[in-house]
Amino acid sequence: MAPILSIVLATLLVSTLATFFAGKRARYVALAGSLVFLVEVLGLIAGFSQWAGFASGHLPLYNDYESYSWISIAWLHVNYTIGIDGISLIFILLTAILQVATVVYSWEESKRPAEWFGLVLLTCLGCFGVFVALDILLFFLFWEAVLIPMFFLIGFWGGPNRRYAALKFFVYTHVASIVMLVSLLALAFYSGASSFDFESLYGPARTLMPVTQVVLFFGLFFGFGVKFPIVPFHTWLPDAHVEAPTGGSVLLAGLLLKLGGYGLIRWAVELLPTGASDLAPLLYAVAFASIIWGAVIALAQRDLKRMVAYSSINHMGIVLLAIAVGSSLGITAAVLLMFAHGIVSALLFMVSGSVHHTFGTRDVSGIGGITPRTPALSTMVMVGSLASLGLPALISFPAEFAAFLAAWDRIGYWVVVPLVVLVVTAAFYLWMMQRVLFGPEKGVPPTVHDLPRFELLGMAMLAGATILFGILPELLVHVIVASPIAGWP
C-alpha cells in the first residue's frame, strides 16, 4: 500500500520550504500548497469507506498505517509510526480548512510575507504531524515543532506587547510539554512495552495498576491541560491572543488548543482508561471551573478579542466535560465540539481582526450600529456569534447538545450548571450584537470601507463550513465514530 500519510507530510514539507524561499510569490505558493493539502485530505475522507484497518478488529487499529525503525538501541526503540483513525482524520480536516482560510485571509500581509506564510504553513505541518504520529517521540517532536513557528508569529507580527506574550507562551507551553513527555516516558517504561509505539503501548498500558494509571493520567492531564487551557493554567492564552496577529490567533485558537484535547483523548484516555475514570471527579471540577470562569471573565471584557479568547476557555471547558464523561458518545461529542470550536473561534478571531482594522478599535463599547455601513462584516459578526452561542443549524449546536446529553448520563442534574452559564453567555452575545450591529451609529469613521475581498473570502469559507456542518453534522460524526474509542466497532 502506498505510504499515503507520508506523501501528505512530504507535500506539506515541500510547500512549506518552497514558501519560505518564494520571496514575493510566497502567497501563491502557500495557497497552492494549502489547496493541495485540502484535496489530499478530502481524498483521505473519500477513501474512508474502503478502510481495511478497522474491519479486521486486530492490530493495527489505525488506517494508512506506516512504521519504520528510527532509533533502535538496546533499551530504546523509537519508530517513525503514523496512522489515522476517524478522530485524527477530523482534526486533519480542521487543519486543512484553517490553513487555507488563514492563507486567504492574510493574503495581503505585507510585512515579510515569505516568512509569514512559511511560518503559517509550518504551524499547520506540526499540527498535522501531531494528529498522525503514533510514537511517543515522533508525537513529541511534532508537538514541540508547533511551538517555534507560533513563537515567531506572535513575537514578530503581534501587537505592542508581543515580545512578552511570545516568551510567556513559549515558556508556559514548553514546561507543560516536558511534564507531558516525562509522563509518556514513564508510561512506556512502567508498562514494559517493547517500544514507544502506540500500538505496543496499547495493551500493556491499559492493564497497568490503577494507582499507576491515576498518577500517570494526572501528569498527562497537566501536560495537555495547559494547552487546553484549563483554569488555573490559562493565563498564557489571553496574553498570547491579544498580542498575536489575526492569523496567529486563528491558528492558536483553531488548532493549537485542539492539540491539548486530541492529546488527552489519544494518549491519556485511550491508554489509561482506569486512570481517566478514577480521576473523572477532578476533571469535572476543572471543567466546571473553566466553563464558569471563562464565561464570567468573557462577560467582563470590552475588547472583542479578549472576549473571544475567554469564551474559548469556556468552550474548551465543555470539551473537557465531554472527555471526562468518557463514553463513546462523550468522546464523539468532544471531538465534534473541538472541530466546531476550531471553525467558529477562527471565524470570530478573523472578525475581531477585521473590526480592528476597520474601526481602529476592538472595544465593543466604542462602536455601534455598523450594519448599514459595513454589511458584510456585520454578517460575519452575526454568523460567528450565533454559532458561538449554539444556535441550532449552526455547527456548535449538535456538538454541545451531544456533550450535554453525554454528561447527563454521568452527572445527572449537575449538567444544569454549564447550561445556565450557556444561557447567560447567549444573552450576552445577543446584547452585544444588538448594540454593535443594530443600535444607533457610533464610532464609525466617515470613510469606512467594508471588508477587503480576501478577508471576506477567508471568513466566508469558515461561515460556509459552519452552516454546512451545522445542518449535516452526520458528515463528521460518521467519520469520528470510526475509531476504537469513539464507538468502533
Partner 1 sequence: MNLLDFLPELLLLAGALLVFLLDVLGVKRLEVFGGIAAAVTALGELVVIGDLGYAPLHALSTIPASAIDQPLGPTLYAFTSLGLVFQAIFLLTAFLVALASLSRPSHEPGAAVFFGLLLLATLGMLLVAVASDLIFLLLAIEVTSLSTYLLVAYPRKEPRPVEAAMKFFIIGALSTALSFFGASLLFGAYGGTSFYALGAATGYVGYPYLATVGYALLIAGLGFKVTAVPFHAWAVDVYDGAPDDVSAFLAGGSKKMGVFAFFLVFLGPLLLAERMPSALPSGFGPSLQITLGVLAVLTMTVGNLLALRQKEMKRMLAYSSISQAGYMLIGVAVGTGPAIAGATFQVFAHLFMKTGAFLVVGAAASIGVGPLIDDWRGLGNRRPSLGVPFALMLLSLAGIPLTVGFVSKFVLFSAAVQAQGYFVWLAVAGLLNSALSVFYYARVLKVMFLEPSPASAGVGATGSGRFGGIGAGRAGAILLATVAIVALGIYPGPVISGIQLAATHFLQIGA
Calculate the dihedral angle through the C-alpha atoms of 81, 186, 125, 332, rounding to the nearest 10 degrees.
Answer: 90
Cα separation, 65 vs 99, in Å, equals 24
**Strand 63-73 and strand 76-84: pairing?**
antiparallel
Residue 185 near partner 1 by CB under 8 A: yes
Cα separation, 47 vs 286, in Å, equals 39
Cα separation, 213 vs 162, in Å, equals 39
Calculate the dihedral angle through the C-alpha atoms of 78, 82, 84, 88, rounding to the nearest 10 degrees.
Answer: 80
56-115 residues in contact with partner 1 (CB under 8 A) are 69-76
Nearer to partner 1, 209 or 423 (CB): 209
Please name which of 367, 356, 338, 350 lies closest in space to residue 436, comparing C-alpha atoms: 367
Q: Minimum distance from CB of 189 to partner 1 (Å)?
A: 6
User: Quick one: which segment of 92-100, 155-163, 222-230, 466-474 binds partner 1 (CB under 8 A)?
Assistant: 155-163
Q: Is 110 helix (H, G, I), strand (E, B) or coil?
A: coil
Nearer to partner 1, 48 or 70 (CB): 70
| Per-residue b or e along 329-347, where b marks 16 or more CB atoms closer than 10 Å to that residue's CB | bbbbbbbbbbbbbbbbbbb
Nearer to partner 1, 46 or 73 (CB): 73
Residues with Cβ < 8 Å from 402, sequence gap 6 or more?
Answer: 322, 329, 332, 333, 336, 337
- Any idea what DSSP says for residue 111? S
Residue 167 near partner 1 by CB under 8 A: yes
Q: Minimum distance from CB of 114 to partner 1 (Å)?
A: 12
Residue 162 near partner 1 by CB under 8 A: yes
Residue 144 near partner 1 by CB under 8 A: yes
Bridge partners for 73 per DSSP: 76
- Any idea what DSSP says for residue 486? T
Q: Minimum distance from CB of 157 to partner 1 (Å)?
A: 10
Residue 155 near partner 1 by CB under 8 A: yes
Q: Which three cell numbers stand for residue 472?
A: 449535516
| Cα separation values, 214 from 178, 209, 267, 269, Å | 18, 9, 14, 11
384: amino acid identity, one letter: G
Q: Minimum distance from CB of 55 to partner 1 (Å)?
A: 34
Q: Minimum distance from CB of 74 to partner 1 (Å)?
A: 6
User: Quick one: which segment of 20-28, 178-186, 271-279, 380-388 binds partner 1 (CB under 8 A)?
Assistant: 178-186
Nearer to partner 1, 175 or 444 (CB): 175
User: Quick one: which segment of 34-42, 168-176, 225-233, 291-299 binds partner 1 (CB under 8 A)?
Assistant: 168-176
**Contact in structure between 83 and 8 (CB atoms under 8 Å):** no
- Which of 186, 296, 448, 457 forms a contact with partner 1 (CB under 8 A)? 186
Residue 166 near partner 1 by CB under 8 A: yes
Residue 236 near partner 1 by CB under 8 A: no
Q: Minimum distance from CB of 314 to partner 1 (Å)?
A: 29
Q: Minimum distance from CB of 178 to partner 1 (Å)?
A: 5
| Cα separation values, 132 from 58, 208, 428, Å | 19, 25, 39
Nearer to partner 1, 101 or 187 (CB): 187
User: Quick one: which segment of 56-64, 81-89, 156-164, 358-366 binds partner 1 (CB under 8 A)?
Assistant: 156-164
Residue 124 near partner 1 by CB under 8 A: no
Residue 151 near partner 1 by CB under 8 A: yes
User: Binding residues for partner 1, per CB under 8 A?
Assistant: 69-76, 137, 140-141, 144-145, 147-148, 151-152, 155-156, 162-163, 166-167, 170-171, 174-175, 178, 181-182, 185-186, 189
